[in-house]
């Protein structure tokens, strides 16, 4: 059961969008998936509770510092995502400590990247602490660029600089990025999965679906590597 | 072709590969117990601190008795005193559940003034 924490202390980096898209995609592929909504605004809980989606995705709200461990223990699913709040809190750091993989979404903005640095340093320190009791414990992470221009559209110089800086710093990242797409926004507006919006006038749904598919494939690849590393 | 035709055939075959990979992930793995205090300490220097209000362990403060309407005309007395005397006086009034003017009267009664 990989636990996947989605974290960036900066709000609006795309944590909930990333979580919901990946979780609903994997659920649609037949996986058993749950999302622990640890954002005080409960965006994914709202999506599930007030929407009409038929997804098999389970959403658990009301996650707090004190009950995180218990809730994690109770998850009988193949994949557990934790959608974290946009702040540096114990709930965030504990979720990172319990995670098998951390996704750090960042927009192409200096503020986002600096805040992402906080999450990355926390991951590395939490890993060191975990290794005191288990030397093989790893908390792998990848930065995910979000709200990038759609393929073919011009890339801003800020984004190019940031990508260069991330690479120069040796920070691992997803090759796939989540593009800025109306379809991703519509998921929250309509409270449906991408797959369930085929009847709605949402722009370029196929491209959006393909984008999530690529991201999910990359994530599964990383999780496979992690599982193999653990078994070795 | 997938359910809603969102993927073409090539994508569908990619998807079935992904499906096989997903199936390899087992549902539940018991998690080892962790030392939360150590994790919290490691995260603190990066600004990861508790944002949740701790449950209140303090008993609700006992309200001081409301001021009774005095039976004679009143005068205003403003006094400046040291912090320690101030603290002693307020603590005395709180302990005896007296208004400040009743506390002062009580102290004068005790002193025979």
Provide the residue-wise pLDDT of chain A in tens; the chain has 232 residues.
Answer: 689 999 987 888 899 999 999 999 999 999 999 999 999 899 999 999 999 999 999 999 989 988 998 899 888 899 999 999 888 888 988 898 889 999 999 988 777 777 788 878 888 888 888 888 788 888 899 999 999 998 888 888 888 888 888 888 888 999 999 999 999 999 999 999 999 998 888 888 999 999 999 999 999 999 988 877 766 6
Judge contact between B51 and A90, C-beta under 8 A.
Answer: yes
Question: What ipTM describes this predicted complex?
Answer: 0.74
**Partner residue facing B39 (CB), from A97, A209, A223:** A97
Cα dihedral A192, A195, A200, A203, rounded to 10, equals 110
Query: In chain B, which residues touch A (CB < 8 A)?
Result: 2-7, 11, 14-15, 18-19, 21-29, 31-32, 34-36, 38-43, 45-52
pTM (predicted TM-score): 0.76
Contacts of B50 in chain A (CB under 8 A): 65, 89-90
Question: In chain A, how long is the greatest CA-to-CA distance?
Answer: 54
* N-to-C CA span, chain A: 17
Q: How many CB atoms lie within 10 A of CB A140?
A: 16
Interface test with A, best of B18, B41, B54 (most A CBs within 10 A): B18
Distance from the B58 Cα atom to the nearest Cα atom in chain A, whole angstroms: 20
Query: Is the Cβ–Cβ distance between B15 and A213 less than 8 Å?
Result: yes
B59 touches A113 (CB < 8 A): no
Which chain A residues contact residue B20 at CB under 8 A? Answer: none
């Amino acid at each position: 059961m990989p636990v996947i924490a989605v974290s960036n202390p900066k709000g609006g980096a795309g944590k909930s969008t990333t979580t919901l898209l990946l979780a609903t995609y994997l659920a649609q592929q037949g996986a058993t998936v749950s999302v622990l909504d640890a954002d005080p605004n409960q965006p994914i809980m709202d999506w599930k509770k007030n929407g009409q989606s038929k997804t098999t995705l389970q959403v658990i709200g009301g996650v707090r510092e004190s009950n995180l461990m218990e809730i994690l223990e109770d998850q009988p699913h193949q994949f557990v995502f934790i959608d974290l709040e946009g702040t540096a809190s114990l709930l965030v750091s504990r979720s990172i400590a319990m995670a098998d993989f951390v996704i750090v979404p960042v927009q192409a903005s200096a503020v986002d990247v600096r805040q992402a640095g906080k999450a990355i340093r926390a991951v590395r320190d939490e890993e060191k602490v975990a290794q005191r009791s288990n030397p093989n414990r790893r908390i792998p992470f990848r930065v995910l660029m979000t709200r990038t221009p759609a393929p073919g559209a011009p890339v801003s110089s800020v984004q190019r600089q940031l990508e260069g800086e991330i690479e120069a710093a040796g920070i691992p990242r997803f090759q796939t990025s989540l593009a800025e797409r109306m379809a991703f926004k519509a998921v929250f507006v309509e409270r449906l999965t991408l797959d369930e919006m085929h009847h709605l006038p949402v722009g370029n749904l196929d491209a959006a679906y393909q984008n999530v598919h690529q991201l999910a494939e990359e994530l599964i690849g990383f999780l496979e590597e992690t599982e193999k590393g653990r078994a070795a | 072709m997938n359910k809603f035709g969102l993927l073409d055939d090539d994508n569908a075959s990619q998807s079935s590969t992904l499906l096989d990979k997903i199936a390899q992930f087992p549902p539940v793995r018991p998690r080892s117990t962790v030392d939360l205090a150590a994790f919290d300490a490691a995260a603190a220097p990066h600004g990861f601190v508790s944002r949740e209000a701790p449950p209140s362990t303090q008993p609700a403060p006992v309200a001081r008795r409301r001021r009774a309407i005095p039976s004679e005309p009143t005068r205003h007395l403003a006094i400046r005193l040291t912090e320690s005397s101030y603290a002693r006086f307020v603590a005395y009034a709180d302990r005896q559940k007296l208004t400040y003017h009743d506390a002062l009267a009580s102290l004068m009664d005790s002193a025979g003034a």
